[in-house]
Structure 1
Amino acid sequence: MSKRALDAARAALAAEHAAVYGYGVVGGRVDDDRRAEAAAAHTAHRARRDALARTVRDLGGRVAVAAPAYALPFAVPDAAAAVRLAAALEDRVAGVYSDLVRAAEGPLRREAADALREAAVRAVRWRGTGVAFPGLAERA
């Protein structure tokens, strides 16, 4: 596998670390009716993070550990902001998986495409609307 694929896998791992952290914030602020959705997304991102750590190792790379905290893109004082944060987290994750789809081949490319699709679907659920080309900021 190429250095480009390893770099893209590392970027996806970093985004998953941030998403796991971010969903901790979302889960603490979101209304009760969306808490199960936030918990499911948190679990999904943890699973993707763990799989990516194995992938990075398998590609011969060093696995970066999660930071103790991550800067959020905006303040999250209430449930409405928590919903916006969840959509933003999914958009970010979709973007890095789009890069991994472009860089990888074979099973890793398929896994990245599945992860991109899952993030795009979650973003639509949180935001209520979709984008034409999820994960491709230059096409949005």
Structure 2
Amino acid sequence: MTTRVALEAAQAALAAEHAAVYGYGVVGGRVGLARRSEATAAYTAHRARRDALARTVRDMGGRPTVAAAAYALPFEVPDGAAAVRLAAELEDRVAGVYSDLVRASEGPLRREAAGALREAAVRAVRWRGSGVAFPGLAERA
């Protein structure tokens, strides 16, 4: 794998983590009290992944993608049920970019990306209540 391809995939994963952090801000504000700690844990996990990816991009010689001021949500989130759907969607999107990073990288970065893919897939199942056969692979979903 070329460093350029891996760097582009890492930048895409970083951008997805920025969006997930934003999205979980919305989820946390709308999800019911029973699932608020789950939303907080996911928010914290995505912030940690985001920060680690920013360091990785710098270590690869890149300039980390910065967060946007706001992100368009895939649908309106007026209540707790919609917040749960949004959380599952966020995890699906993150899993997709980590799948790309797994394909584009090797060594420690590939292991980290595989771990992040697994974590996103597990969170998506928890939010949705069901899983998909090949998380992160749109062509297999």
Could you give the per-residue CA deviations for residues 54-100 of structure 1, whole angstroms, max 9, x where no partner exists?
00000011112111100000000000000000000000000000000
Counterpart amino acid of residue 36 in structure 1 = S
Q: 2:69 corresponds to which residue?
A: 68
SS class of match (1:60): coil
Q: 2:38 corresponds to which residue?
A: 37
Find the aligned partners of 2:21 and 2:61 in 1 and give their Cα distance: 24
Is 78-87 or 63-72 further displaced after alignment?
63-72
Find the aligned partners of 1:5 and 1:24 in 2 and give their Cα distance: 29
User: Unaligned 5+ residue runs, structure 1?
Assistant: none
Counterpart amino acid of residue 98 in structure 1 = S
Deviation at 1:115, TM superposition (A): 0.1
Q: 1:88 corresponds to which residue?
A: 89
Deviation at 1:2, TM superposition (A): 1.3
TM-score (norm 2): 0.98
Question: Runs of at least 4 residues of structure 1 off by over 4 A?
Answer: none
Q: 2:25 corresponds to which residue?
A: 24
Find the aligned partners of 1:61 and 1:133 in 2 and give their Cα distance: 30
SS class of match (2:135): coil
Find the aligned partners of 1:90 and 1:112 in 2 and give their Cα distance: 14
Find the aligned partners of 2:42 and 2:27 in 1 and give their Cα distance: 10
Q: 1:136 corresponds to which residue?
A: 137
Q: How do residues 3-22 of structure 1 correspond to structure 2 at under 5 angstroms?
A: 3-22=4-23
User: Unaligned 5+ residue runs, structure 2?
Assistant: none
SS class of match (1:139): coil
SS class of match (1:137): coil
Q: 1:52 corresponds to which residue?
A: 53
Q: CA RMSD in A?
A: 0.6
SS class of match (1:74): coil
TM-score (norm 1): 0.99
Q: 1:116 corresponds to which residue?
A: 117
